[in-house]
Amino acid sequence: MLQYIMAVARSIQRLGETFADLALKYIPDPYVLVIGLTVLAFVGALAAGAGVQGILDAWFGGLWSFLEIMAQFSIILMTGDAIAKSPTVTRLLKRIASFPDSQASAVAFVVVVSMFAALISWGLGLIVGAVIARQVAYQGKQRDLKLHYPLLAAAGYTGLMIWHSGLTTSSGLIMATPSSLPQSFQQYTPSGIPLSQTIGSTVNLVTVVLLLLVIPPIMAALHPDSDSDIRELPERLAERMSASSESGSESGTGEGVAADGGTESTDREAASADSEAEAIDEPVEAGHQDPAEPGLNERESVADRLNRSVILTILIAIFPAYYVVNAWILEGQGITSLSLNSINAFFLLFAIVLWRTPIGVVEQMEESVENVAGIIFQFPFYAGISGILTATALGAAIADAFASVATPLTWPVLGLISAGIVNVFVPSGGGQWLAQGPILLETTQQLGMPLYTAVVIEMMGDQLTNMIQPFWALPLLALTNLRARDIIGYSTVAMVAAFVVMAITMTLFLGVGV
């Protein structure tokens, strides 16, 4: 029986590897895709009876109605990235990486750490997943524990399959913030949908628990038995990490990321990636000498002292700290008090505190902005698509098509599949909800189901197919020095298992109404 299960798993792995190769070869940059989706929406609206000027006005109206949400999500993206790369988080990961003492426990441990981090923030989960995978592989090599490095990296990527069910849920936070809810969504629910009905719902909580119980052992079971099949941490990478541990100084641990997630050959690109990996393996803390600081024989200026003043950090941290305490405790009502603004204040507080000094957090934010710039740039175009869907007859026409073949029992799974497919082409969770949300809400409304059903469908479908979408894997691949085809086969197995879990829980709690 076990042999049969493993044979099926290997077949799924090969299918995943094939999909990865096709995706990397034929799916262009997400910005190119959003251009194509805009054109497709334009043509669809024409077919639905709208005029050219009306469609252009609808796109323009959608664009400006989402400005507040764009700013809010930009802060979430930047602060989450900064927290994940902070010295404190990095040191913590290095300490716990020595806990696993077997091949199975090593893989399962990486999955659990990555998933818990992603439930706090998708950016935290992505970076933490890469770092913990690399550190566990290094610790294993130091103890002569042979660990399959590509599988560890795939385990570190599984956090992206659960993130939308956590605190930084894009669709959930958008709907939980009525003050910034665009007109295209207010027509369905002017007061929004509280997080208690989305990430706090029974279906989401049960799904999260089951994924945390099911995915770690499944991934652990994929570890090769034969030593000849095991690809350990590359020797050159291990030597760099060893030198870093012995000297306490920064050292590079990655290469330049190529189009397929592999490594570039030029020294300039490799050096650039090394610098990024250094910042994650051993971030510069306050008090460490760097080029921006005065030399030992130079007199420290007033500006230098202010730039590295911990007192200033404490003073400014009081403001977001007060907002969080006031919103969640003094005037809050538990999970229903969570919103984009309060989550942003929470992340801003920890980004400021964890980087300790003004200059430390500023320099890290400059890097974090670069990491998320492409996502931020695409938000206006998804807002425009949302405007076309809601201000013309196109959205209603698509919803009618879904409603004609779906029933309250089948809609959760059909919606899950549709959201998963759209995510392959629109990998941004927030961008996908802006574009697909009105359709899901309209279909759900036509079927007479609670509107939070649409949000849960989006949450599950968006995170599910991240496992076969190489876009989000690129940062992890750059840090682990692997290619997409090295991990996608394993992550596809995780996706299939997660689909079964999600289909069952969504049918029971949303379709049947248990």
> Quick one: pLDDT at residue 133?
93
Comparing 20-24, 103-107, 270-274, 362-366, the range with the smallest average pLDDT is 270-274
Comparing 12-26, 304-318, 395-409, 467-481, the range with the smallest average pLDDT is 12-26
Residue 447, pLDDT > 80, answer: yes
As a whole number of angstroms, the distance between CA 190 and CA 344 comes to 22
> Quick one: pLDDT at residue 22?
66
Comparing 24-28, 104-108, 262-266, 454-458, the range with the smallest average pLDDT is 262-266
As a whole number of angstroms, the distance between CA 498 and CA 495 comes to 5
> Quick one: pLDDT at residue 498?
96
In this prediction, residue 13 has a pLDDT band, given cuts at 50, 70 and 90, of low
| Contact of 490 with 16, CB cutoff 8 Å | yes
Mean pLDDT of 405-416: 94
Q: How many helices (H) and strands (E) does the chain have?
A: 23, 0
> Quick one: pLDDT at residue 308?
92
* pLDDT tens string 466-475: 998 766 777 7
* pLDDT tens string 266-293: 333 444 444 444 444 545 444 444 444 5
Comparing 57-66, 82-91, 219-228, 369-378, the range with the smallest average pLDDT is 369-378
In this prediction, residue 514 has a pLDDT band, given cuts at 50, 70 and 90, of low
In this prediction, residue 121 has a pLDDT band, given cuts at 50, 70 and 90, of confident
> Quick one: pLDDT at residue 32?
82
> Quick one: pLDDT at residue 19?
63
> Quick one: pLDDT at residue 272?
44
As a whole number of angstroms, the distance between CA 212 and CA 201 comes to 17
Q: Where is pLDDT greater, at 71 or 14? A: 71
Q: Which residues does residue 257 pair with via DSSP β-bridges, in sequence order? A: 263
> Quick one: pLDDT at residue 245?
63
Mean pLDDT of 195-212: 96
Percent of the chain residues topping a pLDDT of 90: 36
Q: What does pTM read for this prediction?
A: 0.76
Mapping DSSP to helix (H, G, I), strand (E, B) and coil, where does residue 50 land? coil
Q: Where is pLDDT greater, at 379 or 128? A: 128
Q: Where is pLDDT greater, at 357 or 273? A: 357
What is the CB-side half-sphere exposure of residue 283 using CA atoms within 13 A?
25
As a whole number of angstroms, the distance between CA 36 and CA 55 comes to 16
Residue 339, pLDDT > 70, answer: yes
The separation between CA 41 and the C-alpha centre of its own chain, rounded to angstroms, equals 26
Residue 194, pLDDT > 80, answer: yes
In this prediction, residue 260 has a pLDDT band, given cuts at 50, 70 and 90, of very low
Look up tokens 């998933």; give the residue.
115
> Quick one: pLDDT at residue 268?
38
> Quick one: pLDDT at residue 417?
93
**What's the chain's average pLDDT?**
82
As a whole number of angstroms, the distance between CA 512 and CA 411 comes to 11
Percent of the chain residues topping a pLDDT of 70: 82
As a whole number of angstroms, the distance between CA 335 and CA 197 comes to 10
> Quick one: pLDDT at residue 146?
93
In this prediction, residue 17 has a pLDDT band, given cuts at 50, 70 and 90, of low
